[in-house]
Amino acid sequence: MQLRRADLAQATIAPLYLLAGVIHITRPDLFMRIMPSALPHPLAIIMLTGAAEIAGAAGLFVPRTRAIAGAALALYAVCVYPANILHAVHDLSTGTGLGWAYHYPRLFAQPFICWWALTAGGLTNRTGHRGP
């Protein structure tokens, strides 16, 4: 039996999103300082994003929801990118927290994470071509 790229993506990204979701819910304090100040109710947002990560990870394993879960996780990665940038700017400008060794790969990995989620959802193999 040959392992499909989508299966490999599912098996690797789902546990990461699941872990991230659990951390968001169990340790919201880790995320409070990187929340943009313009957003209201930061704790509620952190809890909801944790729940979204968990739901997306689970959805990748349900054939009926796989594609929407992959698309939602990719969109999620796009939406949280400003918070990732804010986190990097804060840490690097103050010299506190995580340094370049974390932030540089994390910021440049975001497009790959989006592609990976889409692949896990089975969305990168579609050509849109129908018929002979």
- The pLDDT value recorded for residue 1 is 47
**pLDDT category, 127, cuts 50, 70, 90?**
low
**pLDDT category, 44, cuts 50, 70, 90?**
very high
**pLDDT category, 3, cuts 50, 70, 90?**
low
Residue 131 has pLDDT above 70, yes or no: no
- The pLDDT value recorded for residue 126 is 56
Spans of all domains in the chain: 5-120
Q: What is the separation of C-alpha 56 from the centre of its chain, rounded to a whole number of angstroms? A: 9
**With the C-alpha atoms ordered 116, 119, 121, 124, is the resulting torsion angle positive or negative?**
positive
Whole-angstrom CA distances from 7 to 11, 64, 108, 113, 131 are 6, 15, 24, 15, 26
> pTM for this one?
0.84
Q: Of the given ranges (24-38, 45-59, 82-96, 105-119), which has the lowest mean pLDDT?
A: 82-96
**pLDDT category, 48, cuts 50, 70, 90?**
very high
* Contact (CB, 8 A) for 35 and 45: yes
- The pLDDT value recorded for residue 52 is 96
- The pLDDT value recorded for residue 94 is 82
CA distance 3 to 95: 44
CA distance 67 to 64: 8
Concatenated DSSP letters for the chain? -PPPHHHHHHHHHHHHHHHHHHHHHH-THHHHTTS-TTSS-HHHHHHHHHHHHHHHHHHTTSTTTHHHHHHHHHHHHHHTHHHHHHHHHHHHHHT-S--HHHHHHHHHHHHHHHHHHHHHTT-SS-------
**pLDDT category, 91, cuts 50, 70, 90?**
confident
